């Protein structure tokens, strides 16, 4: 049997047809239109006023549709006139059919155009007309791309790979570029007879031939070298990406994965020695080979198709790998595989270019997926393929290979970009960024000014925060970050901002990304401070302190060295060198000290104190996010420095030479010891030389197990976490941005759960950066999640990242997008929910703490990744953390769990906690031991039930917390009830009810309906998503309900009812023009 016969038989098996049947690859609508891949065909007319109409507008439709054909009759409108139309579609052979359309007008009608039309997505492609190629342009040039009234045959390829041939005698063909009218499509028009002018009847006959893709699956078993499951983190033996059982692909099942017209075969690792995939790693990973060959069965393929993904993916367009196709005559061709164009990252998969998401699922760490990609061959019939990794840091994972007779352009989720505009679903929101004093949105009743009135904030032995002069007083802190020029404002803007922060309920602020802007830009070095900028920062500090906001900041964030700093090891000036240089450069350490000294010993003229002396500066971070495992290899120069230092380290310790790689436990130990020495010197400097009494922390990034051994040096532990942080498929921090669009609840509150184990019992815990990032469609869940679980864990400070990344959004109200809350009332109202639960302490802290014991030889035991997901699930039940093995400073009562026991609920002595933990692990249902928090990952719901604050988050329908019950929720939303007078909710005479659905900028442009790719961020006005729900509160007496504007101003009253001890009213975000997000219940 020939190779071509094999491919043809494969296609025939996929599409069993008889000559009397319509092709299965064509989707017919009962109105007579049909689709093949992304190509849609219909009959279209234009009235004398150029108003278009098509099959979807036909009236009195009568249709017969089955496998043997389609026939219909209808009335077609053309402006004010109409015609009786018939359409018949009849099979004419295998994968072929004829369409015949007839129209008869009651009287002579004027028709500007009448034709059949295929509408396809615009973009560069080649079609053939009577055998001659016609190139359709990538960008708009002119409306009419091509015209040929005598053409007889048009051929083109639709998404999914199907070839389409349209023939007629003649076709009267016109190809129009609809981008002239803002529509990203081409129209391939086939004129009727007549096709324009005055007419009483018209007809159109077209013949269609569909040429399906012929494919053959390839057995990957001989080349497979890794399993989909990985049991041991970074043991160098692989199993997918070698990242352990919480971050692998064990959920994929053997069998067929279909992507459009292609079928991929996932082999069973159990039948292939545990090997299911071909995994290639770059030279800096080295846990698998970097190249492999795969013999092919006899074929005449013209394309290679992969189901694959990558990890540690390079920037868009950079080389990921190569496919080398080898032929029987000894020739070969090399096909580049480009990162994020031909193959994306397996985390939070998002389509791009020649890579469509072909399979997706969730593992404990992330939404994950595989991409289908198609690569054209210059010749046909390769005998083997060789796959070669090209990126030194990436891993390329190939799960399946399928050959086809031609390359396939894949059908995306939707070929139409989605732009959010005001409509029935989205309504304009009135937001002015003011808060009416004394309104229900004024949380200034929580203020305790000025900051520092009780002396310096100090840690307690129990690991909480108190005051130097009031040791019996507990404080929790909640506030935002100010970034870049947002910290350098006019005095008037600072005064307004400080007041606004107090109204929001904030009692702290973090000054961040500030150090470069503090410098004199004309100076040759990065140590000379700008007097003007320093004065602005001094005044900001003064006013925030005066209003009761405590300050935290970093001694280094982004100060980029200049040649005048005289750092011998620095030969690159395009990024933040300090993080990678300070462990290996005495000059860099000296620069860090000098900058800190100049700043901290400067006397603030507004407070009369130096920064180091001021108790309002309660905490300093040494260097922001300087975790060395993430920074040492950022530049070729730094890699050389560390490779040389590691060689010396191995020589001094008489160790055999090994690779400078994060996967090497000896190198990880080396980095650990370097960082430990740096931290020791930095802490000594600020405490002994600068005499600072502020709390000291650092390493505020990631939760790798060994960091516990380093974090014990700090006064407090700090960490950062984001849900749905943007990705950058083309260029860092530039459009387009990619998002996963998952729910944190469905991911078992991964934020904040992922940080819980990094807390050290006995030390206060801060989160100086968190966010549920806009435009995630589920971000209404963020306030209750962060507030509820931070309180359960008994943490000490939370900081939204950020208030603003620049002064512009503080001086002027603008759109809401990304990290910033300044123009995002949804983020601000989420903060009020969290403040009630956390800062005010409405959610009860867990009574028992369980701690993961980190061995001193964790590197030798290969415990170098994040804490096990099964252990962190315990943090949804009780308080958790981690302790260094042998630590004698942990508070009494902390229950230590060894690494081996940390994932085994059955070993806990407390049967109730063990059962709740087991339930969370197996059923994705987590109920805290306090009974106040209930998370259902499968139902995507979360409730918080406390005496003074309750909240319900649900995707739709009905759900109760305790006093608060929600019925008939129309969409995903959070509804929270907060007692403002301190009484229990059922007894309160002043209750704030917050309803959060979603907000959007007008004109935000998504790549398609999945909303995973943002092409434009949009602008004002803000739009609120329409959402409604019946709110019920158990109460002895009825309420008066007042709907509020975003500033707390009353819109008007809302009718409610009271019966059998329950007061109910309907909340609706569009109840009043301008949008409603909050209600005040009084009596």
Residue 7 has pLDDT above 50, yes or no: no
What are the backbone dihedrals phi and psi of residue 813, each rounded to the nearest 5 degrees, phi first?
A: -70, 130
For residue 418, the cross-strand partners are: 1006
Q: What DSSP designation does 823 have?
A: T
pLDDT tens-digit readout, 614-643 = 999 999 999 999 999 999 988 888 989 999
Residue 360 has pLDDT above 60, yes or no: yes
Residue 9 has pLDDT above 50, yes or no: no
Mean per-residue pLDDT of the chain: 94
Residue 4 has pLDDT above 70, yes or no: no
pLDDT tens-digit readout, 484-538 = 999 999 999 999 999 999 999 999 999 999 999 999 999 999 999 999 999 999 9
- Residue 412's pLDDT is what? 58
- Residue 180's pLDDT is what? 84
Q: Listing from the earlier edge strand, what are the strands of the sheet with 849-854?
A: 879-884, 849-854, 895-897
**In Å, what is the CA distance from 526 to each residue of 556, 560, 842?**
12, 7, 46
Alpha carbons within 13 angstroms on the beta-carbon side of residue 575 total 12
pLDDT tens-digit readout, 696-708 = 999 999 999 999 9
Residue 777 three-state SS = coil
Is the separation of the CB atoms in 266 and 336 below 8 Å? no
- Residue 8's pLDDT is what? 36
Is the separation of the CB atoms in 813 and 500 below 8 Å? no
Specify the higher pLDDT residue, 556 or 50. Answer: 556
Residue 1024 has pLDDT above 70, yes or no: yes
Q: Which residue in 135, 166, 132, 133 sits closest to 152, CA to CA? A: 166
Give 10's pLDDT tier (boundaries 50, 70, 90). very low
**Is the domain defined by 14-211 classed in CATH 2.70.98.10?**
yes
Q: Which residue in 981, 984, 982, 994 sits closest to 963, CA to CA? A: 984
Is the separation of the CB atoms in 986 and 813 below 8 Å? no
Largest Cα–Cα separation, the chain: 101
Is the separation of the CB atoms in 743 and 780 below 8 Å? no
Instruction: List CB contacts of 604: < 8 A, sequence separation 6 or more.
Output: 538, 541, 542, 610, 611, 614
- Residue 976's pLDDT is what? 99
State the Cα angle at 632 between 626 and 636, rounded to 5°: 140
214-223, 304-313, 1008-1017: least confident range: 1008-1017
- Residue 416's pLDDT is what? 67
**In Å, what is the CA distance from 572 to each residue of 315, 524, 563, 632, 740?**
20, 16, 9, 14, 34
Give 887's pLDDT tier (boundaries 50, 70, 90). confident
Q: What DSSP designation does 655 have?
A: P
- Residue 1059's pLDDT is what? 96
Task: Kindly state the average pLDDT of the residues 711-728.
Answer: 95
**In Å, what is the CA distance from 455 to each residue of 458, 527, 616, 694, 714?**
9, 31, 8, 11, 20
Residue 944 has pLDDT above 60, yes or no: yes
Task: Kindly state the average pLDDT of the residues 21-37.
Answer: 93
Rounded to an integer, what distance in angstroms lies between the CA atom of residue 176 and that of residue 527? 61
pLDDT tens-digit readout, 729-788 = 777 788 888 888 989 999 999 999 999 999 999 999 999 999 999 999 999 999 999 999
Rounded to an integer, what distance in angstroms lies between the CA atom of residue 884 and that of residue 852? 8
Give 5's pLDDT tier (boundaries 50, 70, 90). very low
Rounded to an integer, what distance in angstroms lies between the CA atom of residue 882 and that of residue 884? 7
Q: Which residue in 712, 1010, 662 sits closest to 865, CA to CA? A: 662
Is the separation of the CB atoms in 886 and 798 below 8 Å? no
Report the DSSP pairing between strands 849-854 and 879-884: parallel
Give the distance, in angstroms, between the CA of residue 20 and the centroid of all CA atoms in the same chain.
49
Give long-range contacts, CB 8 A cutoff, 24+ apart: 353-361: 354/410, 356/259, 356/260, 356/410, 356/411, 356/412, 358/257, 358/259, 358/264, 358/307, 359/252, 359/257, 359/259, 359/307, 361/251, 361/252
What are the backbone dihedrals phi and psi of residue 126, each rounded to the nearest 5 degrees, phi first?
A: -115, 130
Q: Is the dihedral of CA 46, 52, 56, 59 positive or negative?
A: negative
Would you call 593 exposed, middle or buried from its count of C-beta atoms within 10 A (0-12, 13-18, 19+)? middle
- Got the DSSP string for 423-466? SSSEEEB---S---TTSTT--GGG--PSTTTT-SEEE-TTS-EE
- Domain spans of the chain? 14-211, 215-404, 847-910, 941-1082
Which fold would CATH assign to domain 215-404?
Answer: Jelly Rolls (2.60.120)
Is the separation of the CB atoms in 467 and 473 below 8 Å? yes
Instruction: List CB contacts of 62: < 8 A, sequence separation 6 or more.
Output: 72, 73, 74
Rounded to an integer, what distance in angstroms lies between the CA atom of residue 482 and that of residue 536? 13
Is the separation of the CB atoms in 907 and 786 below 8 Å? no
pLDDT tens-digit readout, 784-840 = 999 999 999 999 999 999 999 999 999 999 999 999 999 999 999 999 999 999 999
Residue 944 three-state SS = strand
* Right CATH for 941-1082 from 2.40.128, 2.60.220, 2.60.120, 1.10.10: 2.60.220
Residue 663 has pLDDT above 90, yes or no: no
């Amino acid at each position: 049997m020939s190779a071509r016969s094999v491919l043809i038989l494969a296609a025939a098996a996929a599409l069993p047809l008889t000559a009397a049947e319509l092709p299965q690859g064509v989707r017919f609508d009962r109105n007579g239109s049909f689709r093949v891949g992304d190509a849609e065909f219909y009959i279209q007319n234009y009235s004398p006023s150029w108003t278009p109409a098509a099959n979807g507008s036909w009236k009195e439709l009568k249709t017969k549709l089955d496998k043997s054909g389609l026939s219909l009759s209808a009335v077609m409108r053309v402006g004010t006139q109409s015609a009786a139309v018939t359409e018949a579609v009849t099979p004419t052979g295998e994968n072929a059919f004829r369409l015949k359309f007839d129209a008869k007008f009651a009287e002579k009608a004027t028709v500007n155009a009448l034709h059949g039309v295929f509408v396809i997505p615009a973009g560069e492609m080649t079609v053939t007309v009577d055998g001659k190629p016609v190139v359709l342009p990538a960008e708009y040039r002119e409306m009419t791309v091509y015209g040929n009234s005598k053409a007889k045959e048009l051929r083109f390829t639709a998404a999914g790979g199907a070839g389409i041939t349209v023939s007629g005698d003649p076709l009267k063909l016109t190809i129009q570029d609809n981008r002239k009218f803002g529509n990203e499509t081409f129209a391939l028009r086939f004129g009727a007879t007549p096709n324009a002018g005055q007419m009483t009847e018209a007809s159109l006959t077209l013949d269609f031939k569909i040429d399906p893709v012929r494919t053959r699956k390839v057995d990957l078993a001989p080349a497979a070298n890794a399993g989909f499951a990985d049991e041991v983190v970074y043991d160098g033996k692989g199993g997918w990406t070698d990242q352990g059982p919480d971050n692998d692909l064990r959920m994929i099942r053997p069998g067929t994965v279909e992507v459009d017209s292609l079928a991929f075969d996932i082999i069973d690792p159990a039948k292939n020695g545990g090997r299911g995939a071909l995994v290639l790693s770059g030279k800096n990973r080295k846990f698998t080979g970097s190249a492999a060959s795969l013999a092919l069965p006899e074929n005449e393929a013209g394309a290679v198709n992969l189901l694959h993904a990558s990890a540690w993916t390079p920037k868009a367009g950079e080389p990921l790998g190569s496919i080398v196709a080898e032929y029987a005559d000894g020739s070969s061709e090399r096909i580049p595989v480009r990162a994020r164009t031909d193959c994306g990252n397996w985390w939070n998969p998002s389509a791009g270019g020649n890579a469509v998401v072909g399979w997706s699922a969730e593992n404990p760490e992330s939404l994950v997926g595989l991409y289908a990609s198609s690569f054209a061959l210059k010749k046909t019939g390769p005998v083997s393929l060789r796959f070669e990794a090209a990126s030194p840091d990436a891993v390329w994972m190939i799960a399946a290979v399928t050959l086809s007779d031609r390359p396939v352009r894949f059908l995306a989720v939707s070929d139409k970009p989605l732009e959010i505009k005001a409509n029935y679903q989205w309504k304009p929101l009135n937001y002015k960024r003011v808060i009416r004093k004394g309104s229900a949105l004024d949380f200034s009743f929580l203020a305790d000014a000025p900051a520092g009135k009780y002396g310096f904030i100090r840690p307690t032995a129990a690991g909480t925060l108190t005051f130097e002069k009031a040791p019996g007083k507990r404080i929790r802190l909640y506030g935002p970050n100010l970034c870049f020029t947002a910290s350098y404002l006019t005095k008037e803007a600072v005064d307004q901002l400080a007041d606004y922060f107090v109204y929001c309920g904030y009692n702290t602020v973090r000054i961040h990304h500030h150090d470069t802007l503090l410098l004199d830009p004309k100076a040759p070095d990065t140590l000379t401070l700008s007097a003007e900028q320093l004065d602005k920062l001094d005044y900001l500090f003064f006013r925030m302190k005066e209003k009761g906001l405590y300050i935290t900041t970093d001694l280094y964030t982004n100060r980029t060295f200049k040649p005048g700093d005289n750092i011998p090891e620095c030969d690159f000036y395009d990024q933040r060198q300090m993080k990678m240089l300070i462990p290996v450069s005495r000059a860099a350490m000296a620069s860090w000290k000098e900058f800190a000294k100049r700043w901290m010993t400067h006397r603030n003229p507004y407070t009369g104190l130096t920064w180091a002396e001021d108790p309002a500066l309660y905490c300093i971070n040494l260097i922001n996010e300087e975790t060395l495992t993430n920074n040492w290899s950022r530049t070729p120069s730094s890699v050389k420095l560390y490779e040389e230092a590691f060689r010396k380290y191995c020589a001094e310790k008489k160790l055999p030479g090994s690779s400078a790689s994060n996967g090497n436990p000896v190198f990880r130990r080396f980095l650990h010891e370097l960082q430990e020495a740096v931290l020791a010197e930095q802490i000594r400097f600020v405490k002994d030389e600068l005499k600072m009494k502020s709390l000291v922390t650092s390493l505020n990034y990631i939760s790798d197990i060994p960091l516990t051994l380093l974090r014990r040096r700090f006064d407090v532990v700090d960490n950062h976490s984001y849900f749905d942080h943007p990705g950058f498929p083309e260029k860092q921090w530039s459009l387009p941005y990619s998002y996963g669009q998952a729910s944190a609840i469905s991911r078992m509150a991964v934020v904040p759960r992922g940080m819980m184990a990094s807390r050290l019992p006995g030390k206060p815990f801060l989160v100086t950066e968190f966010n549920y990032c806009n435009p995630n469609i589920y971000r209404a869940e963020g306030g209750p999640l962060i507030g509820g679980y931070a309180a359960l864990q008994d943490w000490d400070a939370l900081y939204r990242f950020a208030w603003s990344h620049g002064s512009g959004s503080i001086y002027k109200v603008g759109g809401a997008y990304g990290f910033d809350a300044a123009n995002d009332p949804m983020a601000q109202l989420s903060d009020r929910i969290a403040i009630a639960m956390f800062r005010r302490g409405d959610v009860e802290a867990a009574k028992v703490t369980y701690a993961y014991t980190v061995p001193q030889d964790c590197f030798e035991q290969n415990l170098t990744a994040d804490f096990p997901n099964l252990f962190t699930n315990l943090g949804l039940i009780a308080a958790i953390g981690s302790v260094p093995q042998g630590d004698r400073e942990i508070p009494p009562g902390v229950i230590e769990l060894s690494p081996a026991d940390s994932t085994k609920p059955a070993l806990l002595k407390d049967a109730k906690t063990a059962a709740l933990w087991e339930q969370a692990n197996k059923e994705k249902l987590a109920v805290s031991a306090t009974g106040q928090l209930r998370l259902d990952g499968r139902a995507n719901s979360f409730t918080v039930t406390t005496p003074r604050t309750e909240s319900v988050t649900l995707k739709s329908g009905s759900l109760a917390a305790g006093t608060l019950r929600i019925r008939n929720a129309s969409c995903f939303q959070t509804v929270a009830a907060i007692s403002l007078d301190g009484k229990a909710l059922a007894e309160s005479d002043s209750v704030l009810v917050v309803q959060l659905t979603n907000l959007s900028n007008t004109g935000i442009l998504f790549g398609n309906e999945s909303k995973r790719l943002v092409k434009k961020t949009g602008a004002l006005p803000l739009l609120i998503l329409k959402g409604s729900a019946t709110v019920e509160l158990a109460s002895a007496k009825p309420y008066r309900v007042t709907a509020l504007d975003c500033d707390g101003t009353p819109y008007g009253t809302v009718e409610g009812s009271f019966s059998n001890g329950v007061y109910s009213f309907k909340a609706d975000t569009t109840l009043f023009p301008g949008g409603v997000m909050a209600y005040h219940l009084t009596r």
